[in-house]
Amino acid sequence: MQIPLNPSVMFQQQEKERILWLRKELHRHNHNYYVKSAPEISDREFDELLAELAALEALHPDMADPNSPTVRVGSDLNRDFRQVEHAYPMLSLGNTYSREEVRAFYARVAEGLGGQPFEICCELKFDGLSISLIYENGRLLYAVTRGDGVRGDDVTENIKTIRSIPLCLSGEASTLPERFEIRGEVLMPWESFERLNVERERSGEPLFANPRNAASGTLKSKNSAVVAARGLDAYLYYMPGDETPCDTHYDNLQCAAHWGFKVSDAMCVAKTLDEVYDFIDYWDEHRRELPVATDGIVLKVNSLAQQQELGYTAKSPRWAIAYKFQAERARTRLLEVTFQVGRTGAVTPVANMEPVQLAGTVVRRASLHNEDVIRQLDLREGDFVYVEKAGEIIPQIVGVDVSARADADAKHVEFVKTCPECGALLVRYEGEAAHYCPNYTACPPQLKGRIEHFVSREAMNIDSLGPETAALYFDRGLIRDVADLYALRVADLCGADRSREKSAKKLVDGIAASRQVPFDRVLYALGIRFVGKVVAKTLAAHFRNIDRLRAASVDDLLQVEGVGEAIATSVKTFFDDERNMQLVERLMQAGVQMELPEVVQASDRLAGKSIVISGTFEHHSREDYKAMIEAHGGKNVGSISKKTSFVLAGANMGPSKLEKAQKNGVPLLSEDEFLQLLNGE
């Protein structure tokens, strides 16, 4: 007699098969969108599939896969990077800046090969952060930065959030090397870079100078959720080792593209020096059309056998060289230096110059950043200055033509002592390069800037109230701060003839709808210095409501993962100011969300227990585990003491916490043991 399968078992098996299918489909759609630029489904359809997969994975933790498409969103856990030694040293390339030096390289290759015919593979030199990716059985095993060339940092979790990097390779497993390495460059596209700097300016954070610095800083973040949010990209350009699929560098990269890697289309094989020059000349003119920064051309001998024959110097291969583009520079006269006040009160000097053509645009203004830059340039009134576009997009003054200075005693450009908008005496905080206007309650640009930040899409998302309209209402006296928004009525906005009644009603309805914006975004909208979206979310998850947060000491704040001295001090200073407290009270009275929903009590299995979380986890994020602990009656604590019930210990647990736990006799529970405890096993 055949015993029928339990329906629940059959259903679970169907769910697990669905998980495997969803993973395969989502990997394919990721590749189509981010590498091939040929999406087959809409963003919404993709998000729905991803949400379905995440829900099914939560129901089946035994199906956990570190290369699932759901890891693309990143995790809010923090980690220290372990050091990994490279199988093959990551050497730097020799640089050249002229056609004559390219000719000399070509001649050295010809001589080194004893007259053999050879080809040169010409590629773009992307301006990012070098990365080494190791794959095993078609799956990403780990990712390592260049480091010192011998060993680098393991940034695997952060790399997984970059959607153009395949987690699982396409093609039959039998056609893939069992284990191989591929190298490339992690980049921040111009679009992502500009968006990031707008967000940082709104948050009062220092701006990144160029996409390379932004990409480097992002990839080294200890919070992979930050990496996921910043829109990094990657191009792969080299496969080291003896087990490569083809005999030439170019063909190896075509194989890599077939497996799912993003390989630049701007690559060609040159058979003569003139063809090399043609490639250089073309991209020197057209590089500004690219979505990412490039600072030159890389030339490589195409044949792997010839590469091996040419060999290496102590620092670089003899078979490759980088040709660096010259940054376009122009000379013009400085007319005057003016000073702008930003939302956070930071005062920025701006050079106003005679118009000059530079990199395809007319440049009239350039930021001088701060007082230190002005002093380093020894800038005088009426000077002739040299201007370049940093990263081909941001004008900056890089020098002064001292020989053209008619008067050796010309007056130095002086940084202002008082705010150019409100007259308040400027301050410069210890360790900061910028000067600030401290009059944040009455300085018009700061007041307007805070309102603009408050209503922005990432904050309260009052999309019918743009910056110009907000500034107009401010100038008309309708609003002086963000709390005033909630007192606006249709009659205040539609005009005497009621001609704008429809748009006024839309705005008032939009303001009313913002009362439902969750607490973490409200916290971001307040514009506390150094508190960006990710920090706001972390603080909200930790303290749960505004009352606990404003009562927190600096030491309490430092217990929060990802919060350092600067953020903690800034938050404490904000809530210590009575004027800020009054603003918060008015927002609370207006019905704005100032707390996260209460955690639904699932059980009392952890009642009375104080639990510390440390290390990295596979099945859930750190914040997920914090929520689980509270849902089962436990208490999250940041440091280990004799009163700690146990430590939820993941991989790479901090050595100091491990030592402290052992010293105090505090037990360690693994991730699986903790989940079994919650399930009553």
Of 1 and 337, which is predicted with more confidence? 337
Cβ contacts of residue 362 below 8 Å, gap of 6+?
A: 355, 356
Question: Is the distance from CB of 522 to CB of 533 less than 8 angstroms?
Answer: no
The residue behind tokens 């110009």 is 468
- Concatenating the DSSP letter of every residue in 597-642 gives PPPP---STTTT-EEEEESB-SSS-HHHHHHHHHHTT-EE-SS--T
Q: Name the CATH architecture for the domain at 610-678.
A: 3-Layer(aba) Sandwich (3.40)
Cβ contacts of residue 655 below 8 Å, gap of 6+?
A: none
Q: Please pick, among 125, 160, 262, 533, the residue that the annotation labels catalytic.
A: 125
Q: What is the pLDDT of residues 103-160, one digit of tens each?
A: 999 999 999 999 899 999 999 999 889 999 999 999 999 999 988 788 888 999 999 9
CATH number, domain 327-436: 2.40.50.140
Which tokens go with 95?
Answer: 């640089």
Would the pLDDT of 165 be above 90? yes
Q: What is the pLDDT of residues 446-457, one digit of tens each?
A: 999 899 899 988
Question: Pick from 195, 199, 206, 191: which is nearest to 452 by CA?
Answer: 199
Q: What is the pLDDT of residues 592-626, one digit of tens each?
A: 999 988 767 788 899 889 999 888 787 777 777 88
Domain 327-436 shares a fold with domain 444-589: no
Q: How many CA atoms lie within 13 A of 405 on its CB side?
A: 17
What per-residue confidence (pLDDT) applies to 633? 87
> At 476, which helix (H) or strand (E)?
none
At 167 the three-state DSSP class reads coil
* Euclidean distance between CA atoms 74 and 72, whole angstroms: 5
Give me the mean pLDDT over the 518-542 stretch: 89
* Euclidean distance between CA atoms 290 and 413, whole angstroms: 37
Start-to-end CA distance of the chain, whole Å, equals 34
Burial of 334 (0-12, 13-18, 19+ CB in 10 A): buried
- Residue 220 annotated in active site: no
Q: What is the pLDDT of residues 401-422, one digit of tens each?
A: 999 998 888 999 999 999 999 9
> At 491, which helix (H) or strand (E)?
helix 490-493
Superfamily covering domain 444-589: 5' to 3' exonuclease, C-terminal subdomain (1.10.150.20)
Residue ranges of domains in the chain:
7-73, 84-324, 327-436, 444-589, 610-678
Binned at pLDDT 50, 70 and 90, residue 2 comes out as very low
Would the pLDDT of 76 be above 50? no
CATH number, domain 84-324: 3.30.470.30
Domain 7-73 has CATH 1.10.287.610: yes
Which tokens go with 613?
Answer: 């979380």
pTM: 0.55
Q: How many CB atoms lie within 10 A of CB 471?
A: 17
Q: What is the mean pLDDT of the chain?
A: 86
